[in-house]
Amino acid sequence: MVSINIPVYNVLVNDLVLQLMNQAEALAIDFEIRIYDDGSEEATKNENRKLTKFSQVIYREMAQNLGRAAIRNKMGLESQKSYLLFIDADSKLISEDFLKKYVELAKPGTVLCGGTAYSAQKPAAEKLLRWVYGYRREAISAEKRNSKKGFIITSNNFLIDRETFKKIHFRENIGPYGHEDTLLGFDLFSAGLLPQHIDNPLEHTGLEDSGIFLNKTKTALENLLLISKNILPEASEFQNRMPFLNRYNKITIIIPQALLKWFFNLFGQTIEKNLTGKNPNLFLFDFYKLGYFACLKKNKPAHKD
């Protein structure tokens, strides 16, 4: 019935796996849980190895770090069940019906995206940017996601049938971090498969420090430019339907790209102080991303920390 795939990098997944096993056993479904470690520290691997005592768990350690896209492809293509459920390791089940909802809606040719939730409790000050962004921008209802997200899927919580994934899976040529799920969503959309968003979220527990999140955001924007310029240069649908690119193209009609770049280089450090501080402003974060992308588009060095 379902292969639950959890790629791991320096995260303990014992509690998550036990929650999933309990729900699967209560449903009396045929399942397996694949845990592929992608280069974690030894202490993490020592703890997660304990899960091998369960017959439904397939635990494997990669000889070298494969990266976000390749590890997911390896798991999905080696899975043995009809449906593949991908879950990020830094997730927490917040519903007793999490698996049940997916099982009831699963059918061939349908991609289901459950969504993301965040704790209402504010984290430590150094993690506020990731929490504020997630709580306000990512933790939205399925109705809003279906109306606004287009082909966008999120790899932390989605289900796809195995036969579809064998034909269309993550591309592995887009760099170290960011938008591999966006590109998968577009490839599925191009094949006539639009993801269906449902209200079945997992809580994202792995909040990064604000500085780390900023750097990941920059890397993701670099990947997005690579996709739009080199991988899908002729795909106007990607430009029109990918929310950030659509917004950027509209804004640069009013504000020239060169002016965005100038503002970013002038105020970038000041904005970073706000974003890594105790009251991060998402309007400034949006401007920061637009400015950084303008610098990338100009093919000149952007502001550095």
Residue pLDDT, tens place only, 93-143? 999 999 999 999 999 998 999 999 999 999 999 999 999 999 999 999 999
Residue 110 near residue 196, CB atoms below 8 Å: yes
pLDDT per residue as tens digits for the range 258-278: 999 999 999 999 999 999 999
**How is domain 2-207 classified at the CATH fold level?**
Spore Coat Polysaccharide Biosynthesis Protein SpsA; Chain A (3.90.550)
Residue with tokens 């093919």: 299
**pLDDT band per the 50, 70, 90 thresholds, residue 302:** very low
Give the pLDDT confidence score for residue 232 in this predicted structure: 82
| H helices present in the chain, as ranges | 14-27, 42-48, 68-78, 98-105, 128-133, 142-148, 162-167, 180-190, 210-226, 236-241, 243-254, 257-275, 282-297
| Confidence category of residue 303, pLDDT binned at 50, 70, 90 | very low
* Cα(290)–Cα(38) distance, integer angstroms: 32
Is the pTM above the cut of 0.85?
yes
Sequence ranges of the domains in the chain: 2-207, 212-297
Band of residue 173 on the pLDDT scale cut at 50, 70, 90: confident
pLDDT at 21: 97
- Both tokens of residue 151? 């082909």
